[in-house]
Amino acid sequence: MFSFTKEQKIFDISGVKIGGQPGLHPTVLFGGLFFKGEPDFDNAKKQIQKMLYLSYKTGNPGIPDFFIKKEEYIQKIINFIEKTLPKNYPFSIDIIEPDLKIKTLSYLYKKKLLSRTIYNSIHIGIKKEEFETLKKFTPTAAIIVAFNPKDKSPDGKIEVLENGANLIDNGLLNIVKNIGIKNVLIDTAAMAPGENSGASIAAIPVIKEEYGLPTGCAIHNVVEKSKWLNEFKKTKKVVDASSNVNISLFGGDFAIFGPIENADMVFPIIAWQDILISEYTQNYFGINPDENHPRRKLL
Amino acid sequence: MDLMNAYFKQKEVFWNNYIKSAVYDMINSGLDMISDGQTRDSFINIFTRKLKGCRVRGRTEIIGKVEYKGPIILEDQKFVKKILPKSKEVVGVLTGPYTLTKSCLDLFYNDEKNLAFDFAYALKQEAEELQKYVDLISIDEPFFSIKLPEYAKDIISVITKNLNPPTRLHVCGDVSNIVKDLLDMPVDVLSHEFKAKPNLFNVFKKYDITKNICLGCVCSDKLKIETVDEIVCHIKKGIEVFGDKITQLSPDCGLRMLPRDVAYQKLKNLVKAGAKLYGK
């Protein structure tokens, strides 16, 4: 448990505070929806309500992360977001295909939802069309994935943020600056076991110390790719949920924890971890936890 | 986006396709000696990324003693060897110790010479591994043309001593003031930018040429594609100075700054010009 010498930026994304010194704000938890099969809106509504309740109980903000994999889902999912989430509540959209990203941005603009949108994500695959669309329809926040196929170490992640590692003409941070996105979150790009999986955790303090930006990752991906865990089904769920403590322990600000169904395990675990960190960082560094911190809500 | 798809699907990133495209361009142009194309990274970062003591930032930072920790470009050369027709040869290209030294930000040694020697010792280990798979080891030292350190020969010697394949030293830029030193380097072949710097012919003319020459024949930073006749004329000038010491024809330097189709056409014309004068 530690404190950064670099001044830490704190963003208010449509009411959710993220970033700062360890122990100040609760870890923000992103729960994924619609990754598998057809979108099941009834179940999604239940899961979101459950996550919002857990968030209310623990103080850890829960942000639904909507995966959009087909064009036909864009309007349906965005209309669902508009109808289901509390007024002004932030959400993230998680899209791989550049064409879908462009169409989704345009629809979010039309529905006046960009001020609540966390764009997941910007990375080395960004092309001119996506860049131009983002300039035109700018979301309030974006997650940058610091994936560097040449170098998966913390240094490689810094390199891709700084100068694009010769994979693109500009560093990802500059790209986001040129777009005009104000609230930037860094995802340290968790890799499968055997691909320097630990680097996504080790990179968190490195990146926070370098840039002071809110940082986290989807460590859940590493658990998913640990095939040997399939032999231990019950334990795998525990490992999946508890893997996220690495993020807060290493000073991170957010965890993209996998399917939203895992929320009932992830929220109490992370709340517990956040309390542990806060007790120490307040005592040693004088970091007073925010009024919504689990330490204030649960103790 | 291919690379990102590999990330999203959490699959291993295969760089081989990029190497393959560079290698096939070189094969199809008709070149006899093929490199891996250095597609993987900048010619500095390819090495510093895999050496101990280096931290890759905007410029690589030296934060500890530079040491070899395992193969750097070896696997790529093995891959090139595997996909090459038997009639073609592989060139293993090492970025030289002085160029690495001058390209990095030294936060540890505060002594350029010691750093250069440690790079040289590390590159020596790589060269020893490489020699089992490549037909020529080429050392790229562009910084020699800016300043030739008094220990230049020594650091090159660290690498080339007792190596089996022939060795080449490539120094681009204006080397007219250091030709005497270059001719004394412990390598078999000297490679320079004779196309962009034709005055070099006049300088080399003054010396007894004791090394084989790799003649730079097409500009590596100009879009204009040299015609076959223009290249033939250039090679003839080279023959007047070097005679049969010319053993290799090449572009002046790497062609990474040029569009792929321009680079490819330059190579094709170079090969045609070579065939006109030397036959196939």
CATH number for the domain harbouring residue A228: 3.20.20.20
The answer to whether residue A212 is domain-embedded is: yes
pLDDT tens for each residue of B151-178: 999 999 999 999 999 999 999 999 999 9
The answer to whether residue A155 is domain-embedded is: yes
pLDDT band at B6 (very low <50, low <70, confident <90, very high): confident
Q: pTM higher than 0.90, yes or no?
A: no
Residues in A closer than 8 angstroms to B13, CB to CB, are: 149
Q: Supply the pLDDT for residue A165.
A: 87
Work out the minimum CA distance from B123 to partner chain A, whole angstroms: 20
Q: Supply the pLDDT for residue B82.
A: 95
Give the list of residues 6+ apart from residue B244 with CB closer than 8 angstroms, or none.
none
Q: Supply the pLDDT for residue B9.
A: 76
pLDDT tens for each residue of A153-190: 999 999 999 999 888 989 999 999 999 999 999 999 99
Give the list of residues 6+ apart from residue A38 with CB closer than 8 angstroms, or none.
none
pLDDT band at B280 (very low <50, low <70, confident <90, very high): low
Residues in B closer than 8 angstroms to A128, CB to CB, are: none
Find the CB nearest A150 among B4, B10, B40. Answer: B40
Residues in A closer than 8 angstroms to B10, CB to CB, are: 191-192, 221, 224-225
Total count of domains within chain A: 1
- Per CB distance under 8 Å, which residues of B are interface residues toward A? 1, 3-8, 10, 12-13, 15, 40-42, 45, 49, 55-58
Return the percentage of chain A with pLDDT > 90, whole number: 95
Output the average pLDDT for chain B. Answer: 95
Work out the minimum CA distance from B41 to partner chain A, whole angstroms: 7
Find the CB nearest A124 among B3, B40, B55. Answer: B3
Q: Which of A68, A94, A95, A96 to mutate to test the interface with B (most CBs of B within 10 A)?
A: A96
| CB-based contact A121:A187 (threshold 8 Å) | yes
pLDDT tens for each residue of A63-120: 999 999 999 999 999 999 999 999 999 999 999 999 999 999 999 999 999 999 999 9
Total residues found in chain A within this entry = 299
Rounded to an integer, the average pLDDT of A126-142 is 97
Check pLDDT > 90 for residue B57.
no
Work out the minimum CA distance from B214 to partner chain A, whole angstroms: 29
Give the list of residues 6+ apart from residue A29 with CB closer than 8 angstroms, or none.
A51, A55, A60, A61, A62, A63, A244, A254, A255, A257, A263, A266, A267, A270
Q: Determine the structural domain holding residue A89 and report its residue range.
A: 10-298
Measure the CA–CA gap between B62 and B101, rounded to whole angstroms.
9
pLDDT band at B267 (very low <50, low <70, confident <90, very high): very high
CB contact under 8 A, A159 and B56: yes
Distances (CA, A) of B66 to A26, A210, B56, B111, B120: 41, 24, 13, 13, 10
The answer to whether residue A255 is domain-embedded is: yes
Residues in A closer than 8 angstroms to B55, CB to CB, are: 155
pLDDT tens for each residue of B197-230: 999 999 999 999 999 999 999 999 999 999 999 9
Q: Supply the pLDDT for residue A41.
A: 98
| CB-based contact A234:B51 (threshold 8 Å) | no
Measure the CA–CA gap between A31 and A43, rounded to whole angstroms.
14
Rounded to an integer, the average pLDDT of A10-22 is 98
User: Among residues B115, B185, B108, which one has the least CA distance to residue B144?
Assistant: B185
ipTM of the complex: 0.73
Distances (CA, A) of B129 to A138, B63, B71, B122, B133: 51, 26, 8, 11, 8
The answer to whether residue A4 is domain-embedded is: no
DSSP B114-165: HHHHHHHHHHHHHHHHHTTT-SEEEEE-GGGGT---TTHHHHHHHHHTT-SS
Rounded to an integer, the average pLDDT of B82-103 is 97
pLDDT tens for each residue of B11-48: 766 788 889 999 999 999 999 999 999 988 889 999 99
The answer to whether residue A99 is domain-embedded is: yes
Q: Is A96 on the interface with B (CB under 8 A)?
A: yes
Check pLDDT > 90 for residue A197.
yes
Rounded to an integer, the average pLDDT of A245-256 is 98
Measure the CA–CA gap between A162 and A144, rounded to whole angstroms.
12
Work out the minimum CA distance from A275 to partner chain B, whole angstroms: 33
Work out the minimum CA distance from A163 to partner chain B, whole angstroms: 7
Q: What structural domains and CATH numbers belong to chain B?
A: 14-36+70-95+130-278 (3.20.20.210)
Tokens of B146: 């800016």
Rounded to an integer, the average pLDDT of A124-131 is 95
Find the CB nearest B57 among A96, A123, A162. Answer: A162
Check pLDDT > 70 for residue B1.
no
Tokens of B68: 């070899």
pLDDT tens for each residue of A114-127: 999 999 999 999 99
Q: Supply the pLDDT for residue A272.
A: 98
The answer to whether residue A120 is domain-embedded is: yes
Residues in B closer than 8 angstroms to A165, CB to CB, are: 41, 45
CB contact under 8 A, B15 and A163: no
The answer to whether residue A3 is domain-embedded is: no
Rounded to an integer, the average pLDDT of B73-95 is 96
- Amino acid at residue number A62: G
Output the average pLDDT for chain A. Answer: 96
Torsion of CA A207, A210, A215, A221, to 10 degrees: -10
CB contact under 8 A, A149 and B57: no
Rounded to an integer, the average pLDDT of A17-27 is 98
Return the percentage of chain A with pLDDT > 70, whole number: 100
Residues in A closer than 8 angstroms to B40, CB to CB, are: 150
Q: Supply the pLDDT for residue B14.
A: 73
